Amino acid sequence: MFIKQLYTGCLSEAAYYIDSEGEAAIIDPLRDIDAYLQLAKERKATIKYIFETHFHADFVSGHLDLSKATGAPIVYGPRTETEFPIHLAKDGEVFRLGGITLEVMHTPGHTIESTCYLVRTAEGSPHAVFTGDTLFVGDVGRPDLSSGNLSKEDLAGMLYDSLRSKILPLPNDVIVYPAHGPGSSCGKNLGPNTYSTIADEKEGNYALKEQTKEAFIKAVTEGLDAPPSYFHINARINKEGYESLDDVLEAGLSPLDLQAFQQLVKDEEAIVLDTRKSAVFVDGFIPGAISIGLDGRFAEWAGSLLPFDKTILLVTAPGEEKESVVRLARVGFSKMKGYLDGGYSAWQQAGLPIDMIIDVEADELAMDIPFDENLLVVDVRRETEFADGHVKGALNLPLNDLVDPGSMANLDEHFNIYLHCGGGYRSIIAASLIKRQGIHNIRNVTGGWAKIKDQKGIEIEKENSVLN
C-alpha cells in the first residue's frame, strides 16, 4: 500500500493518492489533475476510482476532468445529488483496490452527504481514514455551509452522532487524513498539522471530548466567522459540473498586446488582476489594477473579492501566467480572457500612466501620529484580530468587507490614511481596492501589526467585549 498526501498551501487543501498492486484511487482532487496522472504513471498504476468526501465549498474539484481522462467512476457517499453521472455509494459499501479495501462511512454533519473512507490492509485491519471535512486535526467541519433547509444546529447534531458512531470506535492507531489543514475557513481553528491519529484526536480535539449533544452543538456553532462569499458558488459548481480546465486555460493564456488589452478593459469593463508579489506591486502598477499576489492565499482572496461574472485580464510576473489562471480556476473562475504580453514592463515602457503605493515603516507612523490631526489608521484585519489589539483610534475595515464600495464611506481624500494588516499581504490588496474608489492618499505600513505592536510611541488598545 502506498499513500501520498498532495497538499496545496494557499488553499490549505489536501488531496490524496493511494495505490496497491497497480490500482490507484484519488481522493478529493483539485481541478488541475496533472499531478495525479503523473504520479500514477510513475507508480505504474491505473486510476480505478475517484472518491469525493463531499461537495467542496472552498475549491472546484477535478473529479469531472479526472474521470474523463481515466474512465474512473466518481464515487460519492449516500444522499448525494449531482447533475452528472456518479457511483452513489451505500453506507458500509466496500471498494477493492489491489490488495486493500476502502469502506464507505457516511458521516453527515459538515454537509448532508459528507462521507469518510476507511482503508483496511490486506489482512482486514483498519489502517487510515480519509475524513474530508468531518474531522480535522484539532477541529471539525463547520456545519453552516450547505445542505438545503437544514440549520447549522441540525447539522451539528448529525455531526455529533457521526463522530460517536463512526469515528470514535476506530482503533487508536488509525491515521487520520483530513481534507484541510491550518488556515482553512472550513473549520474554526484547525491545528498546525495536516494529519493525525485517532488517539491524538481523542486527546486533543475538543469535538471528540466526552460531552452532551447540546454542549457539542454549542461548541461547534458559536464563534463562526462568516464563510468566504465564494463558498456557495464553488459548492454549486461541484454539484452541477463545469467546463474543462483545458478550455479555461486556452482562453486565459491568450497573450494580449497593449491595444487589445486596453480595448477589453474599455469594452467589457474587465477587471485587471495583478498577481505579482505585493512588494513589487507597490513600486508601480496599472491604474485601477487589483493586487492579489501569488505569494499569499491567492485563490481564497480572489474568490472572496472578485466578481465571477466579469472578464478578468491578468498582469503577471514573467512565466507565472499559467499558474495564475490555474489557481483562479481552482476556485471557479472561468472568464479569464488573457494576459498583458510583456507584463507591467510593457505598459511602463510604452509611457502609459502608472500608479504607486507609498510604503512607510512602523516608526514613521509612530512619529506622525502626535502631529497629524488628519491621520487615520485603517486596520484591515478580521474583527477578532482587531479586537485582540490595535492602534488606539484605528478604524477596522476587514478586507473581506472592502468588496463593497459602501464600506469605504468613512474614507475620503482629506485623511492621511495609514493602512495595515497582520504582515503586509492583505493591506496591499486593500490599498489597490481603495485606490479603485478614487482614494489615493494612502501609506502602507510595511510589516503590518507584527511591527506596529512592538513599536514604541504607539498606543495599543483591545476590545474585550468582542473577545469575550
Q: Could you tell me which residues are beta bridge partners of residue 420?
A: 379
**Which structural domain, as residue segments, surrounds residue 283?**
243-349
pTM score > 0.85 for this model? yes
The whole-number average pLDDT for the span 405-423 is 87
Residues 78 and 195 occupy one common structural domain: yes
Q: What is the pLDDT of residue 227?
A: 86
Q: How far is CA 29 from the centre of its chain?
A: 14
Give the three cell numbers for residue 330: 481552482
Q: What is the DSSP letter of 255?
A: E
Residues 226 and 252 occupy one common structural domain: no
Report residue 403's pLDDT band, with 50, 70 and 90 as the boundaries.
confident
DSSP string, 312-357: EEEE--TT-HHHHHHHHHTTT---EEEEETTHHHHHHHTT---B--
Q: What is the pLDDT of residue 411?
A: 85
Residues 17 and 83 occupy one common structural domain: yes
Give the three cell numbers for residue 463: 476590545
Q: What is the pLDDT of residue 226?
A: 83
DSSP string, 284-313: -B-TTPEE--TTSSHHHHHHHHS-SSS-EE
> What's the CA angle centered on 100, arms 98 and 104, to 5 degrees?
115
Q: Does 65 have pLDDT greater than 80?
A: yes
Share of the chain above pLDDT 90, in %: 90
Residues 14 and 93 occupy one common structural domain: yes
Under a CB-based contact definition with an 8 Å cutoff, are residues 135 and 176 in contact? Answer: yes
Please, how many CA atoms are within 13 Å of residue 210, restricted to the half-sphere of its CB?
0
Q: What is the pLDDT of residue 464?
A: 67
Measured CA distances, 145 to 54, 110, 219, 235, 241 (Å): 12, 8, 16, 9, 19
464 SS3 class = helix
161 SS3 class = helix
The whole-number average pLDDT for the span 74-92 is 97
Under a CB-based contact definition with an 8 Å cutoff, are residues 216 and 207 in contact? Answer: yes
Name residues whose C-beta falls within 8 Å of residue 180's C-beta, 6 or more positions apart in sequence: 12, 13, 14, 58, 133, 136, 186, 187, 190
Task: Give 123-135 pLDDT, tens digit per residue.
Answer: 999 999 999 999 9
Q: What is the CATH number of the domain that holds 403?
A: 3.40.250.10
Q: Could you tell me which residues are beta bridge partners of residue 445?
A: 360
Residues 43 and 191 occupy one common structural domain: yes
Q: What is the pLDDT of residue 189?
A: 85
Task: Give 150-160 pLDDT, tens digit per residue.
Answer: 899 999 999 99
Q: What is the pLDDT of residue 404?
A: 76
Q: What is the pLDDT of residue 436?
A: 93
Residue 409 exposed, middle or buried by CB count within 10 Å (0-12, 13-18, 19+)? exposed
Residues 202 and 153 occupy one common structural domain: yes
Share of the chain above pLDDT 70, in %: 98
Q: Does 383 have pLDDT greater than 60?
A: yes
How many whole angstroms separate alpha carbon 72 and alpha carbon 56? Answer: 20
Residues 201 and 160 occupy one common structural domain: yes
Give the three cell numbers for residue 155: 447539522
Q: Which amino acid is at 133?
A: D
Domain count within the chain: 3
The domain boundary, picked from 305, 330, 349, lies at 349
> What's the CA angle centered on 392, arms 386 and 395, to 5 degrees?
55
Task: Give 187-204 pLDDT, tens digit per residue.
Answer: 988 999 999 999 999 999
Residues 247 and 180 occupy one common structural domain: no
Q: Which amino acid is at 4?
A: K
Q: Does 467 have pLDDT greater than 70?
A: no
Residues 125 and 23 occupy one common structural domain: yes
The domain boundary, picked from 182, 205, 234, lies at 234
**Buried (b) or exposed (e) across 230-269, using 16+ Cβ within 10 A?**
bbebbbebbeeebeebeebbeebbeebeeebbbebbeeee
Task: Give 218-237 pLDDT, tens digit per residue.
Answer: 999 998 888 888 999 999 99
Q: What is the mean pLDDT of the chain?
A: 95
Residues 30 and 71 occupy one common structural domain: yes
How many whole angstroms separate alpha carbon 64 and alpha carbon 42? Answer: 22
The single residue listed with the C-alpha cell 512619529 is 367
* Closest among 115, 109, 216 to 154, alpha carbons compared: 109
Q: Could you tell me which residues are beta bridge partners of residue 269?
A: none
Q: What is the pLDDT of residue 412?
A: 81
How many whole angstroms separate alpha carbon 49 and alpha carbon 66? Answer: 10
Q: What is the pLDDT of residue 463?
A: 81
Residues 250 and 289 occupy one common structural domain: yes
Task: Give 233-260 pLDDT, tens digit per residue.
Answer: 999 999 999 999 999 999 999 999 999 9
Higher pLDDT among residues 39 and 403, named by residue? 39
The domain boundary, picked from 195, 215, 234, lies at 234
180 SS3 class = strand
Under a CB-based contact definition with an 8 Å cutoff, are residues 114 and 77 in contact? Answer: yes
Under a CB-based contact definition with an 8 Å cutoff, are residues 208 and 220 in contact? Answer: no
Q: Which amino acid is at 142?
A: R
Task: Give 105-120 pLDDT, tens digit per residue.
Answer: 999 999 999 999 999 9
Residues 94 and 174 occupy one common structural domain: yes
Conformational region of residue 457, where left means phi above 0, alpha means psi within -120 to 50, and beta covers everything else? left
Report residue 466's pLDDT band, with 50, 70 and 90 as the boundaries.
low
Q: Does 410 have pLDDT greater than 60?
A: yes
Task: Give 309-319 pLDDT, tens digit per residue.
Answer: 999 999 999 99
Q: What is the pLDDT of residue 465?
A: 55
Q: What is the CATH number of the domain that holds 79?
A: 3.60.15.10
* Closest among 246, 250, 292 to 271, alpha carbons compared: 292
